[in-house]
Structures are given as structure tokens and as C-alpha cells.
A and B are shown apart, each in its own frame.
Chain A
Amino acid sequence: MGETALDAAIVGIGTSRFGHGLPESQLKLAAIAFKNALADAGLERADVDGLSIHLGWPLGPDYDRVAEAFGLDIRYVNQSWLHGRFITNALQHAALAVSAGLADVVACVTAVSFTRERGFLGGPGDVEGNREEGGTHGEAPPYGLTAPAGGAAIAMQRYMHVYGATSAQLAAVPIAMRKHAVKNPAAIMRKPLTLEAHQASRMVVDPLRLYDCCLISDGAAVVLIARGERARDLKQKPVRIAGMQGTRAGREEFIFALRGLGINQQSVTRTAARAIDTEVFAKAAVTHADVHGFYTYDAFSPLVLFALERFGYCGPGEAAAFVQDGRIELGGALPVNTSGGLLSEAHVAGWNSICEMVRQLRGTAGATQIPGAQVLHWGTPWGDAVMLTCT
């Protein structure tokens, strides 16, 4: 028995509009994105025989309702609920499914109606955070740490203590995201952000200020995955999933902190990224120098620092300095989240950035195009990753 070779490409992308308080239901937003993805790929609804759902209870309809509502006939399903830590999981399972022949075309579906579900995000409706021993972002609701932002805050507070990083340095992250959003007509936040405005913005959960926290928005995205051979016959230039690495978990891990940072039950010994932390590079047969852009889950600005260190773009404690002087902006050495990310484009659970990566590799990103983009890295603060290429 040989192992199943990874053979998957993104063949279509579609989004709804992004905004605050959109009148459409979550399922309607998903339907709009689904139709747009089919049109983008030149596929029919009947061609989709797999669903990898980044949706589902407790924040949306499950896979069976999606299939029923859209009139699909499905032979492969993967479902993870609408939570940032399962973005890559949904994409990876789609890639594995087509590689293994479990489906010909898998639709990754996400849809977000956060403005209608605010109470879930750290409020009284948060069934996740109220479980025994709290939520995944360190939520401890009886003690008033109730929202995902709290997890990023306790991690950044310690990071600042250990490395001397400052809020003014951190501001480079949301400022860069905003610069990208200003160039992106689909982005929600299109007014430039200054360091002064960042520093003057209200403290939300110390050290995170208002502009360190992502948008609470509505929108949907659908990404269609097929095998390479099928992809070559379709309308768009295929974007190959060249390598992947999976989600990390254990007592050394906290989704919003680096290993060894001393949050929750982590040790207090940081080390530079090891080979196993960056295995996606070897799996995709590329090096850091080959990567034209980095894309990550920027729900809170510290997460960008943590992701850059986790994947070895800089050493332990170096990211706050690394992001200065435009290095992560368009035109810089390593552009990050070129459509504006969750901080300034929209919180479509990161799929807005996945769609942007596809546009970049097709060469159709317009005002945010990275010249000659051929290798792009999606890597999350909790350590999973996908390398996308157009070669």
C-alpha cells in the first residue's frame, strides 16, 4: 500500500458581498457565494459531489441542510463548525478527499452572520466558552474572560513582558492590513489608519486596542477543489495545493500563543521554529525565500506576529520588529493578507484571504496584485498550513 499522493487544486472561488448587518440569511449568503464559485469555475451544480463545511452548529446550518437547500447530491462530507481554527481543516479535508477519489469536486462552504450572532462572540449566547473548563481561546466566563479577544490579550501581554514589544510596534499590523483594504473595493474598512489613531483608540482588553480587533461582519465564501487533471480542463488557471501541515494541539499549544510562551499549561521555553513546525515547506518543496506572500488568521493583530514566528519567518521575539517599515505591506519583502484580512477586509473566517490568494496566483488581484506571485503560504497561529502555487 502506497500513500495517497496529494493531488488537489482550487478551481473556483466565489464570495457574497461583505458588510455589517446584511439582510440575507447565512444560508442565502452561502448560496450567493456558491453560485459565484460555480460560475468562476465553469462548473454546474451537479458537478459538486463533496462538501467540506466550515459552518454548522452552533453557528450555522449543518452539511445536510446546505445540501438540501442547494439541491445537491453529495457523496462525501466533512464538517467543522464555524470557528477559525477549522478553516485549514476544511480546506485540507477537501484536498484529501479529491486526492483519494472520495469526490470529484468538493465545495468548501463558509458563511458568516456575525452581526446577527453577536451574543455568541463572548456573550451570553456563547455555548462554547461556557463548557466545563471554558473555551478554546482561554475563556473563563465565571471570571469575566469571556471572548476570543481575551485569549489573544493574555498571550500578547506575556509576549510584551518577555520581549519588550510595544503596542506602537503592534500597530504596524492593523496599519498594513488597512493599507491593503484601501486598495480593495470589496473591503469594509477603506479609510487609512494612522499610528496616532491606533494609539488613541479605546482599550478593549489590555493590551488590545479597538484596531487590534477584527471586524464583526457578514459574508460568505465558497472554494471549489478538484484533482489536478480535472483542474487543467476547467476555465481558470489551476491553483495547486502543493503541500499541507495539520493542526497542532497539546499542553504546549494554545491557539492564540506560540509554543513555550507560558500561556495556560505551556512551558516557558521558546525555541526557534523546528523542522516539524514548518514541514509544509518541505512537503511543497519550497523554501521561505520562494514565498511571495503570507496569509494568516488575523482576528487580532498579535496573531500575525505569532504566525510569522511559528513558521520561522523570524526568530523568537523578533516579529514585533520584523513587521515594521512596511515589510508586511504590498511592496514589502513579505506582504501579508493583501486584501486586508479580518482586521480590515471582512471577517469571513479567513476564507476571504484564501480567495485573495487564488486571485493573486491567477494574476487577477488587481490593485493588490503581488508582481509575479507564484508561491503563497497560508499558515495559522495554531500551526496548520497550506502552500498554494500556480506552477
Chain B
Amino acid sequence: MTTYAKPRPTIGPDNAPFWQGCRAHRLLVPFCQTCGKAHLPPGPVCPFCFADDIEWRPASGRGRISTWTRVHKAWFPAFADEVPYTVVQVELDEGPRLTSRLVGARDGEIAIGHRVEAVFTDIDDELTLHGFRIVAE
């Protein structure tokens, strides 16, 4: 068995449901049952109204690229065979943004505002990472 050499997420009580959702290939987002707003990164309370009654709900998995960068330098040796690769921030249709990988896009295709949808990659028996791919409007 080869060991996954890239950094793994640090998982704690506040974000565990998010990563469990990824395992099931579902993008789950914390919603506040008091004010109805979704937030990311996952927190212990609603950052908008400070209520405690957070419910994890499936997000559409769709959004738009709000910013991006193409990483050319391998700060981690484990990423060396992938550079350059594209990291995006995606504004989900539900509102909050998250940082992820853009998959399957060619150079020149990447632009702020592009419509994207979530995809999932199983890394091993414990970890699934999300990614996004560009889709039509």
C-alpha cells in the first residue's frame, strides 16, 4: 500500500460532517436554523446571528469561480509531480466560498465567473477530497 504523502485535512468536531459528506460524495454545508444562512468554513455557531442550531444540509454542489491561482512552485515535495496546478475559490450557489482544486481544465479556460460543479476523489479508505470542474451555464 502506498502512503498518501500530501497534507490531509485536520478534522475536528466542527468540520467532521463536512468531510463525512465528502466520503459520501455529497457537499454538505452548515445552515443556521434560526436565520437560515449557510456559512463556511464550518464553525461552532452561526457567524451571522450567533445561534447554535446548526444543521448540515446538502448543497447544490454548484457555484462560480470567485478567484483562482495557478501554483507553479512545489512547496511540498508531494505536489512536485503536479505543478502547475490550479487552485480555485468557489462561491457556492448557497453563498459561502470554499477553496478547492479545479480539475480537467486546460490553460486559458480558467476565469473568474465560470460556472463549476463539485466532483469527488477518493484518496484512501478514510479521505475523499472535493474538486470542481467547469460546466456550461
B121 to chain A, nearest CB (A): 11
Q: Are A157 and B14 in contact (CB under 8 A)?
A: no
Q: Are B71 and A144 in contact (CB under 8 A)?
A: yes
Q: CB < 8 Å: which of B10, B42, B101 contacts A144? A: B101
Q: Is A169 an interface residue (CB 8 A)?
A: no
Known: A142-B9, A263-B89. A133 touches B15 (CB 8 A): yes
Please tell me which stretch of B24-32, B49-57, B77-85 contacts chain A, meaning at least 4 of its Cβ atoms lie within 8 angstroms of it. Answer: B77-85
A144–B11 alpha-carbon span in the complex (Å): 17
Q: Are A206 and B72 in contact (CB under 8 A)?
A: yes
A91–B76 alpha-carbon span in the complex (Å): 34
Q: CB < 8 Å: which of A131, A150, A202 contacts B69? A: A150
Q: Are B41 and A157 in contact (CB under 8 A)?
A: no
With a cutoff of 8 Å between Cβ atoms, the chain A residues found around residue B9 in the complex are: 132, 142
Q: Are B10 and A145 in contact (CB under 8 A)?
A: no
Q: Is A153 an interface residue (CB 8 A)?
A: yes
Enumerate A107-166 residues with CB–CB distance to B below 8 Å.
121-124, 130-134, 138, 140-147, 149-150, 153-155, 157-158, 161
Q: CB < 8 Å: which of A138, A150, A251, A262 contacts B71? A: A150
With a cutoff of 8 Å between Cβ atoms, the chain B residues found around residue A234 in the complex are: none
B70 to chain A, nearest CB (A): 4
Contact with A along B5-38 (1 / 0, CB 8 A): 0111111101100000000000000000000000
Q: Is A364 an interface residue (CB 8 A)?
A: no
Known: A140-B87, A142-B129. A130 touches B67 (CB 8 A): no
A134–B11 alpha-carbon span in the complex (Å): 11
A122–B68 alpha-carbon span in the complex (Å): 18
The range of chain B's interface size is 35 or more
Q: Is B58 an interface residue (CB 8 A)?
A: no
Q: Is A204 an interface residue (CB 8 A)?
A: yes
Q: Is A264 an interface residue (CB 8 A)?
A: yes
Number of A positions contacting B (CB below 8 A): 37
The dominant DSSP class at the B interface is loop
Q: Are A157 and B112 in contact (CB under 8 A)?
A: yes
Enumerate B86-107 residues with CB–CB distance to A below 8 Å.
87, 89, 91, 96-97, 99-101
Q: Are B72 and A265 in contact (CB under 8 A)?
A: no
A339–B70 alpha-carbon span in the complex (Å): 31
Q: Which residue of B lies closest to A161 (CB)?
A: B112
Enumerate A205-236 residues with CB–CB distance to B below 8 Å.
205-207
With a cutoff of 8 Å between Cβ atoms, the chain A residues found around residue B15 in the complex are: 132-133
Q: Which residue of A lies closest to B123 (CB)?
A: A142
A181–B23 alpha-carbon span in the complex (Å): 52
Q: Are A264 and B97 in contact (CB under 8 A)?
A: yes
A203–B107 alpha-carbon span in the complex (Å): 14
With a cutoff of 8 Å between Cβ atoms, the chain A residues found around residue B66 in the complex are: 158, 262-263
26 A-B pairs with CB atoms under 8 Å apart are A124-B77, A131-B10, A132-B11, A133-B10, A133-B15, A134-B99, A140-B99, A140-B100, A141-B6, A142-B7, A143-B87, A146-B76, A146-B79, A147-B73, A150-B87, A154-B68, A154-B87, A161-B111, A205-B71, A206-B70, A262-B66, A262-B67, A262-B91, A264-B89, A265-B39, A265-B40
| Contact surface of B with A, Cβ cutoff 8 Å | 6-12, 14-15, 39-42, 47, 66-73, 75-77, 79, 82, 84-85, 87, 89, 91, 96-97, 99-101, 111-112, 129
Rank and list the top 10 A-B pairs by shortest CB-CB distance, nearest first: A141-B7, A122-B75, A140-B99, A206-B70, A158-B67, A153-B69, A133-B41, A132-B10, A145-B87, A161-B112
